[in-house]
Structure 1
């Protein structure tokens, strides 16, 4: 089901506000190299899931999750003030696996293409 225009606006504003807080106000080193990639919001606007990615591996993801949980109250207070909502959605944080998946697929494609070139070169040499 398609989200309402209001939900889309709130989703976009939450993304803006949280990304801004990360770059300006949150000093937690666990969140230093974190990028907000998206926000999903429940139909009743009660839960906002904020997706993030990190440049490092699983340990950095776990650390970032802990950093977000630690900063959740701060983020929610500032977001509520910025958004001016009567009810601020509960914030949940989740690592965005789509970038990792894309990187793995790109690596596999490169391997297949390299193998193809190797086979083409071998075929040309045998002719």
Structure 2
């Protein structure tokens, strides 16, 4: 029996990412939240919980944004239950995705290292 490449949780996660991304964009605009976007959604195997990873335009406002989104999670879940064809919409929890910040920090360090090369030619 061939294995399926995509699990149901992957498909649900992708659909949730699209729908929640739209809802978060509207919430940022309507509630005056710090600018943020959905980077990924991970759904548990039993579809009870969905962890929504968000990135913020300004990393120093990330805690404020995640706190506000977690407060709006119930409202998002109700909207999703009307929009999606799922028997049960997972509980949502928002977390900050710092991978973009880490990548920018590494890139900055690499550029800084390239701008100030150390001369090791005379040693050896």
Give the TM bin, normalised by the shorter chain.
0.7 to 0.9
Contact 1:3-1:43 within 8 A present in 2 as well: no
The match for 1:19 is: 21
The match for 2:7 is: 5
Q: Which structure shows the higher helix fraction?
A: 1
Q: How does 1:67-86 map to 2 (within 5 A)?
A: 67-86=68-87
Distance 1:5 1:20 in 2: 24
User: How many residues of Structure 1 are paired with residues of Structure 2 in the alignment?
Assistant: 117
Change (3 A) 1:100 1:3: farther
The TM-score normalised by the length of structure 2 is 0.83
- Structure 1, unaligned runs of 5 or more: none
Note the C-alpha offset of 1:77.
Answer: 0.7
Q: How does 1:39-118 map to 2 (within 5 A)?
A: 39-58=41-60, 60-116=61-117
Contact 2:53-2:97 within 8 A present in 1 as well: yes
Q: Could you list the structure 1 runs, at least 4 aligned residues long, displaced by more than 4 angstroms after superposition.
A: none
Q: State the Cα RMSD in Å.
A: 2.2
SS at match of 1:37: strand
Contact 1:21-1:75 within 8 A present in 2 as well: yes
Contact 1:47-1:92 within 8 A present in 2 as well: yes
Note the C-alpha offset of 1:93.
Answer: 0.4
Distance 1:53 1:96 in 2: 5
The TM-score normalised by the length of structure 1 is 0.81
The match for 1:29 is: 32
**Which 10-residue stretch deviates more, 88-97 or 63-72?**
63-72
SS at match of 1:111: helix
Contact 1:46-1:88 within 8 A present in 2 as well: yes
